[in-house]
Structures are given as structure tokens and as C-alpha cells.
Amino acid sequence: MRLKTSLLSLLFLFSGAALKAQTNMETADETLKILVLFNTESGGTYKMAQEIALGVGRLQGAKAVLKQVPRIKALDKEKEKAFAAIPYASIDELLDYDGIAFGSAVHFGNMSADMRYFLDQSVGIWTARKLEGIPVTVFMSAGSGAGREAAILSFWNTLAIHGMLIVPTGIMGTADIDKSIAQGNTAFGASSLASAPGSARPSEGEKHIAALQGYALAKAAKGQKMMRMALGVDQKSENTAMRVNVIETRLKALNITLPDAPAPVGNYKPFKIVGNQVFINQIALKAGKLEHPGMIEKEVTEEQAKLATRQTLLNVLAILKQATGGDLDRVKQAVQLTGFFYTPAGYTKHAALMNEASNLLVEIFGEAGMHTRATVGASSLPMNSSVEIQAVFEID
């Protein structure tokens, strides 16, 4: 009896989700946006990108946005190319789409250098897990065709690390194409044999598979979006849920407990948010008292100064946690640290002291903790503190 009740509950749960998804279907259609991002030199990959975009557009309400990857080196006579008017994309805008199709020429069994450099800039997006669950597909253009499958898989490695949902072509459309000429298509993604004889390239068969691939991507993106809507979460909140307490978990692993955020002792705020940047300034307070106060090398040893520096950074992070509403996973990156040290004239070891703060920040935040830095000697600091740190962070 209990088993039957549980099964009925599950049926009601799934039917409710399906009903909610059906109710929201039109909304999902209206807002579905797919990025078709390519890199090309001769234009072959651009032609494939156009076919991918056409396939996306076959799904009602789905919209394809064509963009190029920025170039490491300017292309000769680029303004004369058919794709010259296609705008360049930025790495951050990958987050704005419901699905992404990546396209590149094949370079020695790999993606192009321009595409590789572009994806290498996505480390911050990866550590924040922003692309997890987003459908993605890959298409390519190859001269002789050598290495095209390896090249598509080289994309897949990076996209899988991001946790994206990879949409392959399988054998879709292969029964419909002209088999009397060489075709570049693979089970992993559409490709064009740019220099193969027998027809203009991309061939009609290659374009056909590319359009089907775009349509398959749009369907996958729509399905993902409808499911999120049925569950009542958007992509941003879903990603947040999947990465709950990443930084808190890391703090526990490092056996670090953040102190209570020090209260202001004057007519000022402990932090200020301007745009998406947080500005913080702290000294070496611990439980309301200064940690190792006084001049370094006179009243404070260098080892004590390092402990005071560590405590000051922990105070900065306590304020940062307050600024992010208790969610340190909202921190996109550390931007700048400036350390002030109460030192005698002629002191030169400021950088060694400041390393205590820099190393700790990177331990906690990883790559996102990397920052620019300045260190300054001071003839005195507030409340006789041996250390003061100014910090700037970027947050979501």
C-alpha cells in the first residue's frame, strides 16, 4: 500500500511538472536564444555557421545570433570578406544564451588558435560553474578533411570540463545526402571538406547536416529551458544551487573560520559597492583588539607582522561575506590588494609580509583569487595597527 502511494505521488509530481512546462512553452519559445560562434579565415566555417543558424531558426521562437571569435592577429583584407560585418563576441556573453554552437577551421587535428585562445579565457566562468547544463554543439571546416573528428573532440574536452550538454549529430540526415561525392560530415558534428572536388563547398549534403545540427541544438536548448521553468528555477539560480557553499567548503578544508565582521568606528561604511565592485579597508583587529600592534622590527617581529597580515585579510573576507549577503560564491575575482605596513624608514621587506595575504587569498579562491598588488610603508597606521589592507573585489 505504501509503495502504491509513493508511485502515485511520483506520478502527480511528474504530471505537474509536465503541465507547468506545457503552460510555459510559449514563453520558452519567445525567449530562446542560441549563439553560433565561429572563427574563419577563408569563409568556409562562416558558411557552415549560416546553415547552423538556419537550422536553429526552424524551431518556432528560436533565434540564432551569429558572432565571431576575436582574432589574435588581424586578417589581411578582412573588410572585404563576406563575414566582415559579423560582430566579435566577448567571453562573458557566453552566459547570455540558452545554447551555443562553436565552429572553427581544422588546424592540425585541433581547433584554430583564435578559438583556443578565446576558450582559454573562460577559466573564471568554469570555476563559477556558469555554463553547466547549457546545450552545446560543434561544427568545423577542413581542407583535406584530415583530423576533423579529432578536432571536434578537442572542443568536446573543454566543453565537457565546463559541464555543458554536448549535442552530437550521430547519423542524422546521412540517408538524404549525395553519396557520389565526398562528404565531410561526422557522427560528432557537421564539417565541410573545403578543398575536396566534386561540388562547391560546403556541399549541399554538408549544409543539410549542419542545418539539422542547428535544429537539434535548438530542441535541446528548448527542452532544458522548459525543464528549468517547470522546476521553477532559472539558469543563474540553478547554477548557484549546484555550487552551493563552494568557498565555505574550501574554508572548512583549510580549517579557516572567518571572524565576525568588524564594526565601523566612525562615520563610514565597512564596504562600498560601486557597479559590480566591492571596496573594503581593514586593519588587524581580532575580537575587538589589535593583533600585534606597533612598529615592525621595533615592537613587532616580522613573523608577528605576518600573523597580523593574515588576520587583516580574514577581516577583509568577513566584510566581503557581509557585502555578498553571506554568499562568497558570488565573488567573481579579486581585483586589487594594497597593503600598508607600519615600518621604520628604510625598511624593504614589505612584499614578503604581504605574501601572507596574497597566498591565503589564492588558497581560498583559486584562480579567481589572483590579483594585482601594491605594498606601502607608513610612518603610522590607525590605532597603532602594524598592518592595513585595502581590497577591491568583483562580484556577481
Residues 131 and 278 in one domain: no
Dump pLDDT digits (tens) for 253-280: 899 999 998 888 888 899 999 999 999 9
The residues, ordered by sequence, that sit 6+ positions from 270 with a Cβ below 8 Å of its Cβ are 261, 262, 263, 264, 280, 319, 322
Residues in the chain: 396
Distance CA 153, CA 106 (A): 11
pLDDT for 7: 45
Pairwise pLDDT comparison (240 vs 86), residue with the higher score: 86
The residues, ordered by sequence, that sit 6+ positions from 161 with a Cβ below 8 Å of its Cβ are 126
Dump pLDDT digits (tens) for 152-170: 998 999 999 999 999 999 9
Half-sphere exposure of 79 (CA within 13 A, CB side): 0
Residues 14 and 33 in one domain: yes
CB 117 within 8 A of CB 82: no
Distance CA 58, CA 218 (A): 9
Distance CA 333, CA 339 (A): 18
Instruction: Provide the number of structural domains found in the chain.
Output: 2
CATH number at residue 231: 3.40.50.360
pLDDT for 18: 46
Identify the weakest region by mean pLDDT among 220-224, 228-232, 321-325, 345-349: 228-232
Q: Is the pLDDT of residue 4 over 50?
A: no
pLDDT for 9: 47
Q: Is the pLDDT of residue 139 over 70?
A: yes
Helical segments of the chain, H only: 2-23, 25-31, 44-57, 113-120, 123-127, 148-161, 204-231, 235-242, 246-253, 302-323, 350-365
Residues 94 and 116 in one domain: yes
Mean pLDDT of the chain: 86
Q: Which among 338, 320, 331, 328 is positioned nearest to 375, based on CA atoms?
A: 338
pLDDT for 129: 85
Q: Is the pLDDT of residue 241 over 50?
A: no
Confidence of residue 240 (pLDDT cuts 50, 70, 90): very low
In terms of C-beta density within 10 A (0-12 exposed, 13-18 middle, 19 or more buried), how is residue 63 classed?
Answer: middle
Name the domain boundary from 242, 274, 291. 242
Name the domain boundary from 218, 242, 266. 242
pLDDT for 356: 96
Residues 390 and 338 in one domain: yes
Confidence of residue 308 (pLDDT cuts 50, 70, 90): very high
Distance CA 74, CA 81 (A): 13
Phi, psi of 63 (to 5 degrees): -125, 130
CB 352 within 8 A of CB 379: no
C-alpha cell at 197: 572536388
Residues 179 and 298 in one domain: no
CB 162 within 8 A of CB 121: no
Residues 65 and 179 in one domain: yes
Residues 303 and 349 in one domain: yes
CA quadruple 212, 213, 219, 222: dihedral sign: negative
Residues 269 and 231 in one domain: no
CATH number at residue 349: 3.30.1330.40
Find out whether the peptide bond into 87 is cis, omega within 30 degrees of 0.
no
Residues 385 and 237 in one domain: no
Dump pLDDT digits (tens) for 77-115: 888 888 889 999 998 889 999 999 999 988 888 899 999
What 3-state class would DSSP assign to 264? coil
Identity at 202, one-letter amino acid code: P
Residues 231 and 141 in one domain: yes
pLDDT for 198: 60
Confidence of residue 142 (pLDDT cuts 50, 70, 90): confident
CB 375 within 8 A of CB 339: yes
pLDDT for 196: 64
Distance CA 390, CA 271 (A): 10
CB 99 within 8 A of CB 135: yes
pLDDT for 43: 85
Name the domain boundary from 187, 208, 242. 242
By residue range, what is the domain housing residue 325? 246-395
pLDDT for 25: 42
C-alpha cell at 303: 613573523
Residues 186 and 289 in one domain: no
CB 239 within 8 A of CB 245: no
CB 68 within 8 A of CB 86: yes
The CA-atom distances, in angstroms, between 358 and each of 197, 330, 389 are 59, 19, 11
CB 385 within 8 A of CB 342: yes
Q: CB neighbours (10 Å) of residue 43? A: 14
Residues 109 and 144 in one domain: yes
Dump pLDDT digits (tens) for 20-58: 444 444 444 457 999 999 999 888 899 999 999 999 999
Pairwise pLDDT comparison (16 vs 334), residue with the higher score: 334
